[in-house]
Amino acid sequence: MLSAEPGITDETNTQVNAAQVLADALRHSLTLKLSAQDIAAARARTLQTRAQLLPALNLASHGGHYEGLKDGAVAGQYNTIIIPSVADWYGASATLSQPLFTGGQLWQQKIHAGFQYNATTQAWHSVEADVRRQALSAYWHWSKSFYALATLRAAVARMEVHATDMRNFHDAGLATDNDTLSTEVLLDKTRLYLEEAKRYDEIARAQIAFLTGHDLPSNAVPNRPVIPAGLSVAPESDVLNTARTNRPEYAVRRMELNAAGALVDMHRAGYWPQLYLTASYDYDNPNPRIIPPQDEWNGDFYAGVALSWNILDWGLTRGKVSEAAARAAQAKLRLTQEDERIVLEARQARISLQDAIQSLTVAERAQQSAQRNLESATSLWNSGLLRHSELLDAHTKLTQAQYDAVSARANIVLTQTALNYATGQLNGNP
C-alpha cells in the first residue's frame, strides 16, 4: 500500500516500468496482428503476379467407358470400310503456356503488387509506432495519476491534522465556529479531489489493461518521470524535416501513389494485343486425332502461338484507365493531405513540449514558494498575527502547487512521447 508521503512505497509493492507495459502492449495488440496479416496477404499477391510471368505447366488425365456404341461403316469405291467402336477411352496430357507479349499488363501487375506490399509494410510500422505511443502515454498518465494520488493523500493528512487542532482550539474557546467550519469544508474539498484522482488512476489502469490484455497487479507502482538535464526543443525546421523523413505514414502514401500509377499502366495494356506461346503433348487411347479411332495408345505433340486483340469493347478499357487515373489523382491528393497532417502534428507536439518545459520550471518554483508560504502563515497564525482564512488559503495553494508540480513533470514525458511519435522517432526505448 502507498504511504502518505508522495512516492514512498513499502516492500510489498511491485515496480512496473514503461518498458514492461510497452512490451506487453506490442505483444497483445490485435491491430498490429491484423496489420501483419495485411503484409502476409500482400506478399502472397506479389508471388501470384510473379508466377503469371513464368511458364505454366498443366497436367490432365481422363478415363471413361461408353455403352451403346456400334461399329461404323464407310462405303468405299470397291468395298465397305468398317470403323470399329471403342468403348473405353483413356488419356493424359501436358500443356505448357508462356506469355510472350501482353503490352506490359503482367509486368505492371507485378510492379503494382510490389508497391502495395511496401505500403503494407510501412503501414505496419505506422501501427507499431501508434501502439508504442498509446502504451507509453497510458503508462505516464498512470504515473501522473498515481503520484498525484500520493500528493493528495499527503494533503488530506495535513488537513486532517489541522482540522483536529482546530477542533481542540474550538473546545478550548480559542477558535470560532466559522474557523472550524471553514477548516472542515476545506478538508472535505481536499478529500473530494482525492476521490476524483482515484477515478483517474482507475481509468489509467483500465487503459493499460486494454492495451496489454491483462490487469496491473493491485500493488503495482509506476516509475516517476525522469526529466533529462538540459532538455531543449529542436528548431521547427529540423522537426518538420525529421517528420517528413521518418514518418511511415508518409512512406505509405508514396507507395500508394506509385501503386496507383502502375495500375493505370496495367489497364492501358488492354489497348495492346496479347501473345502467348502454347505447347502440349497428349497420349490417348484411342487418340481422337487419328481417324478412324484405334484401340491403342498414341501420342501427339502441338506447339504454336495464340494472338488475341480486343479491337472493340465499347469503351470498357478506356473506362478502366479513366477510373485508375482518378484513383491515382486521389493518391496524390492523399499524399499532400498526409504531408499537411504530419506537419501540423509535429508543430503542435513541438509547441506542447516547449510549454511543458516552461511550466515545469514555474511549477517547481511555485511549489517551493507555497511550502514556505504555509510555514510562514502557520507561524504567524500561531502568533495571532494572521487570519485563519489566510492560513487556509496557504494550505490550498500548497496542495495545488504540489499537484501542478507532479502534473508538470509527467506532462514533459507525455509531450516528449508525442513529439517522438510526430517526428517518426518513437523507438523501443521508453
Would you place residue 76 in the very low, low, confident or very high pLDDT band (cuts 50, 70, 90)? low
pTM of the entire predicted model: 0.84
Would you place residue 4 in the very low, low, confident or very high pLDDT band (cuts 50, 70, 90)? very low
- Rounded to an integer, the average pLDDT of 364-391 is 90
Q: Which amino acid is at 309?
A: W
Instruction: Give the start-end residues of each E strand in 54-171.
Output: 56-65, 72-75, 80-83, 88-101
The pLDDT value given to residue 7: 42
- Separation in Å, CA 310 to CA 274, 324, 345, 365: 9, 19, 50, 80
- Joined grid coordinates for residue 386: 494572521
In which element (H, E) is residue 221 found? strand 220-222
Q: Could you tell me which residues come within 8 angstroms of residue 111 by beta carbon, excluding any fewer than 6 positions away?
A: 262, 265
The pLDDT value given to residue 2: 32
| Cα–Cα dist 269/386, whole Å | 91
Asked if 337 contacts 252 with a C-beta cutoff of 8 angstroms, the reply is no
Residue 27: exposed, middle, or buried by beta-carbon count in 10 A (0-12, 13-18, 19+)?
exposed
Residue with cell 489497364: 267
| Cα–Cα dist 264/88, whole Å | 52
Between 8 and 328, the higher pLDDT residue:
328
Top-level CATH class of 14-55+103-270+331-422? mainly alpha
Least confidently predicted of 143-147, 335-339, 382-386: 382-386
The pLDDT value given to residue 169: 87
pLDDT in tens, 224-279: 998 888 888 999 999 999 999 999 999 999 999 999 999 999 999 999 999 999 99
Of the candidates 3, 22, 114, 14, the one whose C-alpha atom is nearest the C-alpha of residue 428 is 22
The pLDDT value given to residue 1: 27
